[in-house]
Amino acid sequence: MTQNMKLVLENSLQVFFFDHLQEVNKKLLNPLSQETIFYSSIVMDNFGESSKLFEQVDNRVREKILGIKLMESSQLPREKQKKALKDIAETSLFICGYFADSLNRKIVDVRYYEDLGKIAYTRLNNYSSEVYDVPSFYKMMANNFSHVTFLMNLVSKKYSAESDPALPWLILQDRKIS
C-alpha cells in the first residue's frame, strides 16, 4: 500500500455506509430518521456489486432503462410490479446519490432519475406501506429523496478517489468507469 492509502476495517459495506451516512446526517439542521439512514445504507451496500446497476437483455449487459421499466411495471402482476418498483426506486436513489456528478455529462440529468425514483417509491408505498414499523415508509422516501441523495453524495465525495483512496474497491471501480 502507498503512504496515502488507509486500510478500512468494517464488518460489511453496509456498516461502512451506515456509519458515514449517520455521521453526515447528525450535522444537518433537520436530520433524517434512523430508519431512512439504515435503509439508505442497505441500498448503497446492494449496489456495492456493480452488476446491480445493469441488466441482461438478449444475453447482453446494458444499463437499466428505468423510464421504460417504470412504464412496463404497471402491466406486471402484483408481486413482480412490487419488485420492479423497488428496483427502479433504489437504482434511481443510488444513481442520484452516488453518481450525480457523472450525470452532468449525459443527455438525461439528475432531475429525471430523481422524478423516476420519487414516482417508483410513491407507487411502491401502495404495496408495502409500513416498513421498519414506519407507516408510509416508501412515501417518506419519495418525500425525502433529494435529502437522502444529498447525504449519499456527500459520502461519495468524502470518499472519492481524489480525496481518500480508502473507499471500498468495488465502488471505486464503478466510479472510474462511469
Round to the nearest angstrom and report the end-to-end CA distance of the chain. Answer: 25
Sign of CA dihedral 47, 50, 102, 8: positive
Of the candidates 52, 39, 12, the residue with the CA atom closest to the CA atom of residue 174: 52
Residue 135 forms beta bridges with which residues? 130
* Domain-located, residue 5: no
* Domain-located, residue 6: no
Cell 445493469, residue? 54
Which residues, including other chains, have CB under 8 Å from residue 99's CB and lie 6 or more apart?
156, 174, 175, 178
Q: Which domain holds residue 111?
A: 13-177
pLDDT value for 4: 52
Whether the pTM exceeds 0.85: the reply is no
List, for the chain, all residue ranges whose pLDDT scores fall below the cut of 70: 1-10, 159-178
* Domain-located, residue 2: no
Residue 23 forms beta bridges with which residues? none
* Domain-located, residue 46: yes
* Domain-located, residue 4: no
State how many domains the chain has: 1
CA gap 94, 97 in Å, rounded: 5
pLDDT value for 109: 84
* Domain-located, residue 41: yes
* Domain-located, residue 92: yes
pLDDT value for 139: 96
